[in-house]
């Protein structure tokens, strides 16, 4: 197993553009939307952060925290979003370590509970997440699972 580095964007603000482009490539959300959230985090306008796993200089995993991850339960905030690990790096615990990092960081700032939407069943439960309810994703034909971490 490689010696990966786990950082939040405040620890490495110089990779903001690279990170925004990386998330855009994975999810198709405009780069500008990521930059707007990242800029607010870096300016300390919000504690909703961005978390990355690096292999050398290469981003191999990441996720963020935003108010709402494009679903109809606006009352359930904040949301972990854009969870992604590069295919060649999966099954090494990267997402789990990032999820724990996010939960610990949010709790240290008094932000709890936190939520996430996903179609995965069985993955998030391993890291202390519980199924909470179904939510309707913006423009999605079927409801999706919404999880809580208390």
Identify whether 86 is part of a domain.
yes
Identify whether 142 is part of a domain.
no
Instruction: Find the CATH number of the domain harbouring 38.
Output: 3.40.630.30
Gap between the terminal Cα atoms of the chain: 31
The yes-or-no verdict on residue 95 having pLDDT over 90 is: yes
Q: What is the mean pLDDT of residues 56-83?
A: 97
The yes-or-no verdict on residue 3 having pLDDT over 90 is: no
Give the C-alpha separation, 58 to 91, whole Å.
18
Identify whether 52 is part of a domain.
yes
DSSP assignment of 18-37 equals HHHHHHHHHH---HHHHHHH
Q: What is the mean pLDDT of residues 130-135?
A: 97
pLDDT, residue 11, reads: 98
The yes-or-no verdict on residue 1 having pLDDT over 60 is: no
Domain boundaries, position 72: 5-109
Q: What is the mean pLDDT of residues 46-72?
A: 97
Q: What is the mean pLDDT of residues 24-41?
A: 97
- What is the total count of domains within the chain? 1
pLDDT, residue 2, reads: 64
Kindly state the helix (H) or strand (E) to which residue 97 belongs, with its residue range: helix 94-108
Three-state secondary-structure class, residue 106: helix
Identify whether 148 is part of a domain.
no
Give this prediction's pTM.
0.94
Q: What is the mean pLDDT of residues 67-91?
A: 97
Give the C-alpha separation, 17 to 150, whole Å.
32
């Amino acid at each position: 197993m490689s010696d990966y580095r786990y950082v939040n964007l405040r620890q490495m603000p110089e990779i903001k553009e690279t990170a925004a482009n990386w998330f855009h490539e994975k999810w198709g959300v405009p780069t500008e939307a990521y930059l707007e959230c990242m800029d607010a985090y870096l300016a300390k306008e919000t504690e909703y952060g961005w978390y990355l796993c690096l292999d050398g200089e290469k981003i191999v995993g990441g996720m963020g925290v935003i108010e709402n991850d494009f679903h109809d339960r606006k009352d359930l905030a904040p949301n972990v979003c854009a969870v992604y690990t590069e295919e060649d790096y999966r099954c090494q615990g990267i997402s789990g370590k990032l999820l724990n990092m996010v939960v610990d960081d949010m709790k240290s700032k008094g932000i709890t509970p936190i939520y996430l939407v996903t179609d995965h069943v069985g993955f998030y439960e391993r890291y202390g997440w519980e199924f909470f309810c179904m939510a309707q994703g913006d423009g999605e034909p079927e409801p999706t699972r919404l999880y809580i971490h208390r």
